[in-house]
Structure 1
Amino acid sequence: MSIVIMLIVALAFVLIGSAIIIALARATDERKIYAFRMVGVMALALGVVLIISASAMWRWATTA
C-alpha cells in the first residue's frame, strides 16, 4: 500500500513540475523565470526519485 501512495505522490510532483515548466512560456519577469525553472526542475526531480524508489521497493517486495 505504501508503494501505491508513493507512486501517487510521485505522479503529483511530476505533473506539478511539468505544469510549472510549461508556465515558463508565459513568464516575463526574470525573477519568475528563475523561480519557475528552479521549482519546476526540483519537483520533476523529486517525482523521478520517488518513482525510482517505489519501483525498487516493489521489486524487493515481490522477490522476497
Structure 2
Amino acid sequence: MPKMKTDRGAAKRFKVTGSGKLRRRRAFKNHLLEKKSSTRTRRLSQETDVAPGDVRAVKRLLGL
C-alpha cells in the first residue's frame, strides 16, 4: 500500500495547533472591503476552529 499524499490545497488552508485542533481563515475578506465595516473586517481577520462536522474530512485531507 503506497503512502497517503497530503492534499496540497488543504495544507495551505488549514493549520494544526499544538493540541491537535484545526484552525482556518474566515471567508469574505478578499475584495469589496470598502463597504464592510472595520469591525467586520477585523473579525474576519481572526482565525477560527474548523466546524466539528468538517474535522474528520479535513484531517483525512491532511493525512492525520
TM-score by length of 2: 0.31
Say which structure, 1 or 2, has more relative contact order (CA 8 Å, 6+ apart): 1
